[in-house]
Copies of this chain bind each other. A is one copy, B any other.
Amino acid sequence: MPSCRFDVLGIGNAIVDVISRTGDDFLAAQGLRKGAMTLIDEARAEALYKAMGTATFVSGGSAANTIIGAASLGCRAAFIGKLKNDETGAAFAHDIRAAKVDFSTALAKDGPASGRCLVLVTPDGQRTMNTFLGAAQSLSEADVEEHLVTQSAIVYLEGYLWDPPAAKAAFVKAANIARGAARRVALTLSDSFCVDRYREEFLALIRSGSVQIVFANESELHSLYQTGDFDTAATQLRTENILAVVTRSERGSLVVTRDEVLAVPAFPVGLVVDTTGAGDLFAAGFLAGLSKNKDLETCARLGALAAAEIIQHIGARPLTDLGQLAAQNGIAI
């Protein structure tokens, strides 16, 4: 059998980030939950945008960021996500194609505008996200083309997809096709509040074997197992019989399998400017390593490298060729 057409296929909410620097006082005045991703409707998005300062528009979306990072590390990559045929949608489509990612999901001709995430970055580099899903809500089973899934070695799905009901159906369809074609399915838990909303369903995906690889940060893991203790959560994770990767910011990451627990340090960084996309890019590096059959430690080092690049500038899309960056840091890929 010839090899897969794609190393990794991502499916996620297609979103453009609208990024503004702000102080903690603004978050307080607007009643925003610092560090979290909150879903907002169009009216709230307009009001919040009006109150925000000068903003930079950069394509984003969790799974899309990951896929672009993987492409920058030399993966053959594809993405499925829904936008409207408007200026924001055109910018997203341009950027993902400019990154050499296969993107062919039809743009919606009517309905809500392309999705936007209002990202507020505080002086500590933390990001607080407010997402108006817009057209992303209409991602549906019809957008999941079977041949894309069967021709991808790894299918990467974001937990955020469980928010819009039609997108959840698309997620389930993709996972089922992948399973039927013996492809690996990876899931990112996305956000601790997202895990709160869909805890039982995410656990069922993991325990039913629909998902073989899971990415989580500490607070998502705590939320998944409803514990405030990291070691308790990590011990539970080991019993799931999957490949799990837990990111721990400056404390690095933990790779958890049934047989081993591997701690890999973070990459040293200078000034942390904007943490938007840190988890997405960690997943990008890890998946790129995995798709090229690297050992798990190398996969995690690639993740750390990609995350380090992304937090040193505004926006969640790499500004550097990550493949070259890896080579400069002595990681062959």
Enumerate chain A interface residues (CB-CB to B < 8 A): 21, 49-50, 52-59, 68, 86-88, 91, 94-95, 98-99, 313-315, 317, 319
Contacts and interface: CB of A to CB of B under 8 A. Distances in A.
A50 B87 CA distance: 14
A56 B55 contact: no
A59 B319 CA distance: 20
Contacts of A68: 54
A317 B98 contact: no
A49 to B, nearest CB: 7
Given A86-B87, A94-B49, A317 B54 contact: yes
Given A52-B98, A55-B95, A56-B56, 19 more contacts: A21-B319, A49-B94, A52-B94, A53-B99, A54-B59, A54-B68, A54-B98, A54-B317, A55-B91, A55-B94, A55-B98, A56-B57, A56-B314, A56-B315, A57-B57, A57-B58, A86-B87, A87-B88, A313-B314
The DSSP consensus for interface residues of chain A is mixed
20 contacts: A49-B94, A52-B94, A52-B98, A53-B98, A53-B99, A54-B59, A54-B95, A54-B98, A54-B317, A55-B95, A55-B98, A56-B57, A56-B314, A56-B315, A57-B57, A57-B58, A57-B91, A87-B88, A313-B314, A314-B314
Nearest to A273: B313
Nearest to A315: B56
Contacts of A86: 87
A222 B114 CA distance: 47
A173 B58 CA distance: 38
Contacts of A319: 21
Contact of A94 (B50, B95, B98, B317): B50
Contacts of A55: 91, 94-95, 98
Nearest to A96: B54
